[in-house]
Amino acid sequence: MAKTIKIISISLICIFVALVVLYQFVKHDAVLSTTITIGVFAYHFVIRLLVGVVVNAIFKNNINYNKWWFREKRFEPKLYSILKVKKWKKHMPTYAPDAFDPQKHTLEEIVGATCQSEIVHEIIIILSFLPILLYIPYGTLAVFIITSIIAALFDLIFVIMQRFNRPRLIKIINRKNQATR
pLDDT tens-place string over residues 163-179: 999 999 999 999 988 88
Share of the chain above pLDDT 70, in %: 99
Q: Which domain holds residue 58?
A: 2-179
Task: Write the CA distances from 150 to 56, 128, 146, integer angstroms.
Answer: 25, 9, 6
The pLDDT-based confidence of 181 (bands split at 50, 70, 90) is low
CA dist 38 and 162 (Å) reads: 30
pLDDT in the model for residue 45: 92
Reply yes or no on whether the pLDDT at 103 is more than 90: yes
pLDDT in the model for residue 138: 79
Reply yes or no on whether the pLDDT at 70 is more than 80: yes
DSSP sequence for 24-86 = HH---HHHHHHHHHHHHHHHHHHHHHHHHHHHHHHHTT---TTSGGGSPPTTHHHHHHHHTHH
Task: Write the CA distances from 17 to 11, 36, 39, 51, 130, integer angstroms.
Answer: 10, 11, 9, 22, 20
The answer to whether the CB of 121 falls within 8 A of the CB of 162 is yes
The pLDDT-based confidence of 1 (bands split at 50, 70, 90) is confident
CA dist 111 and 105 (Å) reads: 10
Whole-number mean pLDDT of the chain? 91
Reply yes or no on whether the pLDDT at 54 is more than 90: yes
Q: What is the pTM of this model?
A: 0.89
Reply yes or no on whether the pLDDT at 114 is more than 90: yes
The pLDDT-based confidence of 141 (bands split at 50, 70, 90) is confident
- The mean per-residue pLDDT over the stretch 71-81 comes to 94
pLDDT in the model for residue 74: 94
User: Higher-confidence residue: 85 or 138?
Assistant: 85
* Domains of the chain: total: 1
DSSP sequence for 124-174 = HHHHTTGGGGGHHHH--HHHHHHHHHHHHHHHHHHHHHHHHHHHHHHHHHH
